[in-house]
């Protein structure tokens, strides 16, 4: 067995181990959080739900709590609606979440949680009707609202003996989803019929739509979330489901990396730089191989960190959100400058030698082609020598 094969097997085994560790090491912090929050009152289990608590002070039940798990923007979170014994919502607590601290503070600062006070099981909680989403945090707003509503349903069943009908999934196939499907169709047609002239207009559309308008380029953290089972609820974020598993499925079916070559907004910007004065310096073969190995190692490390910490957002090291959301640390801005600066000299500098999402997509395309031909291709190589995002 050669060294590359051994390393690949070891790398995959380590990823599987990290994924398992990330799942097992998750401890239930809810009861500890509630004890701290309501001290000196006691918090004890109650009701028929496996996770229902009551707060007892002076021998009397003060509050009932029915925590539920949901998936926000950053990953799974536990949401605990606190109700009076008459089932009037007092407050909503979040004992565990994986949102970035800034993002969570944004929800708090915009008074999102205050809207729930005073609601009863008679008010069907739904974003857009009884609860307003915080702009820029719609996915988490919807996820939290859904968890509070399901907690209240459980409480109504336990205390009042009333079974509320389960809320139906609200499929939201809006303008953005339809535009994305149209882009996918155009990219497939462009690849299938070798419409080379359509490539730049398509990339420009990808830049405008996925970059500037939606600010949702595919990141390796999205792919990590998919593997970790932390994908957002499909009714909350249909766009995510079309974009991430959709891109992977199209690549797996066609064997062509249509996302990077035809749709990626960051790739589009680099192509634009190359075409408007780039120097097109050629990279020696041995350096190409070393840089590709580096990108593979980095992708592996990003996935390991995400899997082991149980937080997919930790893998988001690409400069996309910094550039298109204009938010980022100093290091991330250095990264944007270096990646775009590099593309003045080397076409698609970032895509070819660093992008972790690109490594994942190329691996999928490589596996597909290998499966079709019945031969083994190293995942990071694919047919990289003659199929890079510049082709």
Partner 1 sequence: MKRPQIKEIAILTGALLIHGCLLVSLLTHL
* Three-class SS state of 54: strand
What whole-number distance in Å separates Cα of residue 202 and Cα of residue 388? 17
Q: Which is nearer to partner 1, 214 or 293 (CB)?
A: 293
Closest CA to 267 of 138, 376, 275: 275
Write the DSSP string, 68-132.
EEEE-SSSEEEEEEEE-TT--EEEEEEEE--S-HHHHHHHHHTTTGGGGTT--TTS---BTTTBP
What are the backbone dihedrals phi and psi of residue 66, each rounded to the nearest 5 degrees, phi first?
Answer: -125, 85
Distance of CA 252 to the CA centre of its chain: 20
Q: Which is nearer to partner 1, 112 or 354 (CB)?
A: 354
Q: Which is nearer to partner 1, 210 or 339 (CB)?
A: 339
In which residue are the tokens 């076409």 written? 347
Both tokens assigned to 183: 């882009």
Q: Which is nearer to partner 1, 96 or 149 (CB)?
A: 96
CB of 349 to partner 1, least distance (A): 8
CB of 300 to partner 1, least distance (A): 11
CB 189 within 8 A of CB 202: no
CB of 341 to partner 1, least distance (A): 8
CB of 317 to partner 1, least distance (A): 4
**What does the binding site for partner 1 look like in residue numbers (CB under 8 A)?**
281, 283-284, 287, 290-291, 294, 298, 301-302, 305, 309, 311, 313-315, 317, 329, 331-332, 334-335, 338-339, 341-342, 346, 349-350, 353-354
CB of 359 to partner 1, least distance (A): 12
Q: Which is nearer to partner 1, 213 or 281 (CB)?
A: 281
CB 135 within 8 A of CB 57: no
Q: Which is nearer to partner 1, 62 or 309 (CB)?
A: 309
CB of 8 to partner 1, least distance (A): 21
Residue 80 pairs in a beta bridge with 93
* Three-class SS state of 348: coil
Taking each helix axis as running N to C, give the angle between helix 175-192 and helix 199-206, from 0 to 180 degrees, rounded to the nearest 10: 160
DSSP run (H or E) holding 148: helix 138-155
Both tokens assigned to 110: 């915009």
Q: How many helices (H) and strands (E) does the chain have?
A: 15, 6
CB 260 within 8 A of CB 348: no
CB of 23 to partner 1, least distance (A): 18
CB of 354 to partner 1, least distance (A): 6
What whole-number distance in Å separates Cα of residue 238 and Cα of residue 279? 41
Q: Which is nearer to partner 1, 265 or 356 (CB)?
A: 356
Q: Are strands 60-65 and 76-83 parallel, antiparallel or unpaired?
A: antiparallel
* Three-class SS state of 64: strand
What whole-number distance in Å separates Cα of residue 151 and Cα of residue 137? 21
Q: Which is nearer to partner 1, 119 or 352 (CB)?
A: 352
CB of 309 to partner 1, least distance (A): 7
Q: Which is nearer to partner 1, 268 or 313 (CB)?
A: 313
Q: Which is nearer to partner 1, 231 or 313 (CB)?
A: 313
CB of 63 to partner 1, least distance (A): 35
């Amino acid at each position: 067995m050669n060294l590359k094969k051994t390393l690949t097997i070891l790398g995959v085994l380590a990823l599987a181990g990290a994924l398992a560790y990330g799942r097992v090491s998750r401890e239930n912090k809810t009861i500890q959080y509630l004890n701290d929050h309501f001290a000196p009152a006691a918090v004890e289990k109650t009701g028929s739900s496996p996770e229902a608590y009551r707060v007892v002070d002076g021998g009397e039940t003060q509050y009932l709590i029915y925590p539920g798990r949901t998936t926000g923007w950053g990953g799974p979170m536990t949401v605990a609606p606190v109700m009076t014994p008459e089932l009037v919502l007092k407050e909503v607590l979040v004992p565990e979440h994986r949102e970035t601290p800034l993002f969570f503070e944004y929800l708090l600062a915009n008074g999102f949680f205050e809207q729930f006070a005073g609601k009863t099981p008679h008010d069907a909680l739904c974003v857009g009707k009884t609860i307003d989403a915080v702009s820029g945090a719609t996915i988490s707003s919807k996820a939290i609202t859904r968890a509070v509503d399901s907690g209240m349903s459980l409480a109504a069943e336990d205390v009042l003996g009333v079974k509320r009908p389960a809320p139906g999934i609200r499929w939201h196939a809006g303008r953005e989803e339809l535009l994305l499907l149209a882009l996918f169709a155009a990219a497939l047609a462009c690849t299938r019929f070798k419409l080379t002239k359509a490539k730049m207009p398509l990339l420009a559309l990808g830049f405008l739509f996925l970059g500037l308008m939606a600010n949702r380029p595919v990141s390796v953290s999205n792919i990590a979330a998919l593997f970790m089972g932390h994908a957002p609820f499909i009714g909350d974020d249909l766009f995510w489901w079309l974009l991430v598993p959709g891109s992977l499925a199209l690549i797996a079916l066609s064997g062509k990396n249509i996302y990077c070559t035809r749709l990626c907004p960051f790739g589009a910007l680099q192509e634009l730089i190359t075409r408007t004065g780039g120097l097109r310096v050629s990279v020696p073969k041995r350096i190409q191989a070393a840089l590709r190995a580096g990108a593979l190692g980095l992708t592996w490390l990003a996935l390991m960190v995400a899997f082991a910490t149980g937080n997919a957002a930790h893998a988001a090291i690409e400069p996309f959100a910094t550039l298109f959301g204009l938010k980022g640390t100093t290091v991330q801005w250095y990264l944007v400058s270096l990646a775009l600066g590099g593309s003045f000299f080397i076409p698609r500098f970032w895509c070819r030698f660093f992008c972790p999402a690109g490594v994942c997509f190329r691996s999928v395309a490589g596996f597909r082609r290998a499966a079709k031909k019945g031969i083994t291709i190293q995942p990071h190589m694919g047919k990289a020598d003659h199929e890079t995002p510049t082709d």
